[in-house]
Amino acid sequence: MDATTTSTPATGAAPVELVKGLRLLDATTIVMGSMIGSGIFIVAAEGAREVASPTLFILTWVISGLMTVVAAITYGELAAMMPHAGGQYIYLREAFGPLSGFLYGWTLFLVIQTGTLAAVAVAFGKFLGVFAPWVSAQNRLLDFGQFSIGSHAIALTLSSQQLIGILVIFLLSIVNIFGLRTGAWVQNIFTVLKVGALLGLVGLGLWWVGGSHAVPVAPPSASAETPWGWAALTVVAVALVGPLFSSDAWNNVTFTGAEVVNPKRNLPLALLFGTVGVCCLYLACNWVYLRVLPFFGSPRGTNPLERGIQFAAEDRVATAAMQVILGNPGAWAMAAAIMISTFGCLNGMILAGARVYYAMAKDGLFFSKVARVNPKYHTPAVSLMVQAVWAALLTLSGTYSELLDYVIFAVVLFYILTIAAVFRLRRTRPEAARPYRAWGYPVLPALYIAFALFVEWALLLHKTQRSLAGLGIVALGVPVFYVWRRRSKGLAGG
Instruction: Report yes or no on 59 lying in a domain.
Output: yes
Instruction: Report yes or no on 2 lying in a domain.
Output: no
* Backbone phi, psi, residue 144, to 5°: -90, 10
* Backbone phi, psi, residue 146, to 5°: -145, 160
Residue 97: which domain range? Answer: 24-493
Number of domain units in the chain:
1
Instruction: Report yes or no on 7 lying in a domain.
Output: no
Instruction: Report yes or no on 240 lying in a domain.
Output: yes
3-class DSSP assignment, residue 249:
coil
Rounded Cα–Cα distance for residues 179 and 259 (Å): 12
The CA distances from residue 153 to 145, 148, 397, 457, in Å, are: 10, 4, 10, 30
CATH number at residue 313: 1.20.1740.10
pTM (two decimals): 0.92
Per-residue pLDDT in tens (0 to 9) along the chain, 494 residues: 344 444 444 444 556 789 999 999 999 999 999 999 988 998 999 999 999 899 999 999 999 999 999 999 999 999 999 999 999 999 999 999 999 999 999 999 999 999 999 989 999 998 999 899 999 888 999 887 777 665 566 777 899 999 999 999 999 999 999 999 999 999 999 999 999 999 999 999 999 988 766 665 555 444 444 567 778 888 898 899 889 989 999 999 999 999 999 999 999 999 999 999 999 999 999 999 999 999 999 999 999 999 999 999 888 999 999 999 999 899 899 999 999 999 999 999 999 999 999 999 999 999 999 999 999 999 999 999 999 999 999 998 876 666 667 778 889 999 999 999 999 999 999 999 999 999 999 999 999 999 999 999 988 988 888 889 889 999 999 999 999 988 877 666 55
434: left (phi over 0), alpha (psi -120 to 50) or beta: beta
Name the DSSP class of 384. Answer: H
Residue type, 152: H
Instruction: Report yes or no on 317 lying in a domain.
Output: yes
**Cβ–Cβ under 8 Å, residues 87 and 79:** yes
Rounded Cα–Cα distance for residues 140 and 134 (Å): 10
How many other CB atoms are there within 10 angstroms of residue 261's CB atom?
16
Instruction: Report yes or no on 230 lying in a domain.
Output: yes
**Cβ–Cβ under 8 Å, residues 58 and 49:** no
